Amino acid sequence: MIYTLENARPLAAIVLIVLIAWLFSENKRRFPLLLTLGAIVVQVAFVLLLFAMPNSQAALEGVNAAVNGLASASDKGAQFVFGYLSSSDATQYPAAGADPDRLFIFGFRVLPLILVISALSALLWHWGILKWITRGFGLLFEKTMQLGGASALAAAVNIFVGMVESPIVIRAYLDKLTRAELFLMMVVGLATVAGSTMVAYAVILQPVLPNAAGHVLVASIISAPAGILLARIMIPEEGPRTHYDYASDLKYESSMDAVTTGVRDGVMVAVNVASFLIVFVAFVWIANGLLPLIAAPLADLLNPVLPAHLDIDPSRATLQAIFGHIFAPIAWLIGVPWGEAQAAGGVLGVKLFLTEFLAFFDLRDVPAEALGERGRMIMTYAICGFANVASVGIMTGGMTALMPERRREILSLAWKALLPGFMATLMTASVVAALPMGLVRP
């Protein structure tokens, strides 16, 4: 294990993230020092548990094998419906030849996976397996991070299910949640991802990142404490901590009811994902078509007076390039080498303003010479969360449907939650990058 300045720099990023959250705090005098230390300790402990403990590599390989098994099973189901279109076997899809990029058809490879994982998650919840896992995380968050039972459970559930589904788990307590607890639930929802999309991200990254499934799983788990911390800093709990039991309002009548409900919910998620991707990919193409037209007159005006290395090239004016320049300092601060920061910054911008799905595809497609394995691993943690503009709308719609009487309060908090939700994944990436090289390997 080696410790260098590349590891030390993310420590400054963690301090800066906490400072920004404090600057936006509604009560700057109530800074949760013990919670700050506890959140970082919990994050580091999870990373060490999942990467540095004896046999941890075997456990991660088991996670990757499980994801591969689920992906293969989903492919078999999709092939039964869509035939060779959903196959990754070039011999079954001669029109694509042997080009792996053309063989990866999102609608046939990822969307069916979302359906399978959604149904499986519902079944595991009904059988009590997922319920006990989330209850364990809930108790951990309650004891180490001073959360009430309902908030702790909602935060834990967000690790495995979506930000809209998690309030359903504590529906019986929604009217009792304080403003700070409601905000915390929103931030953690934006800082983490659902189990169905988690597996999809791993499948996308698998060709370019070893142990992709393990990294994505760890990212979602350890972003929850970061989200809790930043939410508590920005809106501290003013009154006494509330305590509820861990009873859940999410119930199924039978195993078949769990599967059918899971499929129905998975269809909703898959349709939303596909719809947003169609729209946002179209927006990116429109923007990238217009930007060179805008950049051309600027180049004619400025290039004669600019140094040669700052010349504007209209043909390279794209949304990703603009994001790259804006977010490059952030990518560098969280641990990405400066030579790779612009490529990484473009991925961060796509994640925040478009969707994390597009960001994962961009991360997969960045050439190895532009972003190395370590930088790609750090960025996996940085973008593994729902914190983006589109998700704020999805979250607001789901929560107002469950709590119509708190609609105004939800709307006032939703956009405020985007900043800490985004910073939580940056903090997670910084914690991982700050650990000695060799401890957390790509």
Average pLDDT over residues 220-224: 85
Is 440 part of any domain? no
CA-based R_g, the chain, Å? 22
Is 210 part of any domain? yes
- Residues 6+ positions from 378 with CB-CB distance below 8 Å: 334, 335, 336, 344, 429, 432, 433
Contact present, 299 and 311 (Cβ < 8 Å): yes
Domain that holds residue 318: 5-434
Sign of the four-CA dihedral 244, 245, 249, 250: positive
Any idea which of 150-154, 333-337, 358-362, 431-435 has the lowest mean pLDDT?
150-154
- Tens-place pLDDT, residues 299-319: 666 666 556 555 566 666 777
Contact present, 356 and 394 (Cβ < 8 Å): no
- Tens-place pLDDT, residues 19-39: 999 999 988 888 888 888 888
- Tens-place pLDDT, residues 99-142: 544 455 666 667 777 777 778 778 877 887 777 777 777 777 77
pTM of the predicted model as reported, rounded to 2 decimal places: 0.79
Q: Which of 114, 113, 70 is nearest to 265 (CA)?
A: 114
Backbone angles phi, psi at 256, to 5 degrees: -65, -40
- Cα(359)–Cα(365) distance, rounded to whole angstroms? 10
Entry field: residues in the chain? 442
Query: Higher pLDDT residue, 120 or 364?
Result: 364
Is 406 part of any domain? yes
At residue 282's C-alpha, the angle toward residues 317 and 419, to 5°, is: 75
Residue with tokens 């939800």: 410
Is 346 part of any domain? yes
Average pLDDT over residues 355-374: 88
- Cα(137)–Cα(227) distance, rounded to whole angstroms? 14
- Tens-place pLDDT, residues 39-55: 888 888 878 777 766 66
What is the pLDDT confidence band of residue 80, given thresholds at 50, 70 and 90? low
What is the pLDDT confidence band of residue 91, given thresholds at 50, 70 and 90? very low
pLDDT value of residue 180 = 84
pLDDT value of residue 412 = 87
Is 47 part of any domain? yes
Contact present, 29 and 442 (Cβ < 8 Å): no
Is 441 part of any domain? no
- Tens-place pLDDT, residues 126-138: 887 777 777 777 7
Is 439 part of any domain? no
**pLDDT of 292 strictly over 90:** no
Number of domain units in the chain: 1
What is the pLDDT confidence band of residue 169, given thresholds at 50, 70 and 90? low
Q: What count of Cα atoms within 13 Å lies in the side-chain half-sphere of residue 174?
A: 23
**pLDDT of 343 strictly over 50:** yes
Is 365 part of any domain? yes
